[in-house]
Amino acid sequence: MKIDLANIAGTPGARGRFAISERIRASEGAACVGPVTGELTVENAGSLLLIRGRLRATLKLTCVRCLSEGEQEMDLEIEEEFASEGAGDDIQTIDRDEPELAAISDYVLDAHEFVRQQVVAGMPMSFLCRPDCRGICPQCGADLNLAQCECAVAPGDERWAKLGELLKGGARRD
Ligand SMILES: [Zn+2]
Ligand SMILES: [Zn+2]
């Protein structure tokens, strides 16, 4: 959805409320289940445009240990400031050099791009399907949450070495 902010941008103190429902594409390791929904308020605060509101998304994420998929709710509190070119580095500018990355261009808010940036920025760095996920066996790939595999005591393991010594000792006693 594109939202024309020209009227708000031209009138100090003006504000507008916009209902948001945007489907965004998956990015690395995560996808959204259904649309991102919520409401945004855009306000002309003199030299800045303030975008505030709340967005909700359901993420489908991949567990970093066992690679299984799980869902997680995300509730984002939005508070962003946009200014025209020349603003400080910490404030997003309305007309950037890379228009495909700018959520606002020519005072039109690209709600899809804005929502996508907010969701990507708010994604958890690493997701665990459960806090004590045991992961997968590095040797056979078995999901250790389901069952312990046979690789736990590998040949060359010192427990085998001790068993070997015991067997040798037994042989000598014979
Ligand atoms: Zn897991
Ligand atoms: Zn294994």
Among the listed residues 25, 22, 16, 83, the one whose alpha carbon sits nearest the alpha carbon of residue 53? 16
Q: Is the domain of 47 the same as that of 87?
A: yes
Ligand 1 centroid – CA 140 distance (Å):
16
**Nearest ligand to residue 138 Cα:** 2
Question: Are residues 117 and 138 located together in one domain of the fold?
Answer: no
Taking a 5 Å cut-off on Cβ, the residues next to ion ligand 1 are 63, 65-66, 129, 133
- Claim to verify: residue 113 and residue 150 sit in the same structural domain: no
Number of structural domains found in the chain = 2
Same domain, 78 and 115: yes
Amino acid at position 50, single letter: L
* CA 47 to ligand 1 center in whole angstroms: 47
Q: Which listed ligand is nearest to 140 at the C-alpha?
A: 2
Give the predicted TM-score (pTM) of the model: 0.73
Range of the domain at 149: 134-174
Measured at the CA of 119, the angle between CA 118 and CA 121, to 5 degrees, comes to: 65
Q: Are residues 82 and 149 in the same domain?
A: no
**What does the alpha-carbon distance between residue 87 and residue 46 come to, in Å, rounded to a whole number?**
13
Q: Is residue 127 part of a domain?
A: no
Cβ atoms 25, 120 nearer than 8 A: no
d(CA 137, CA 153): 12
Same structural domain for residues 11 and 82? Answer: yes
What confidence tens digit (pLDDT) does each residue in 101-157 have? 678 877 889 999 999 989 988 888 889 999 999 999 999 999 999 999 988 655 555
Residue 146 is assigned to a structural domain of this protein: yes
- CA–CA separation, 45 and 107 (whole Å): 15
Residue 60 or 156, more confident: 60
Q: If you measure from the C-alpha of residue 160 to the centroid of ligand 2, how many angstroms do you get, rounded to a whole number?
A: 17
Cβ–Cβ under 8 Å, residues 124 and 62: no
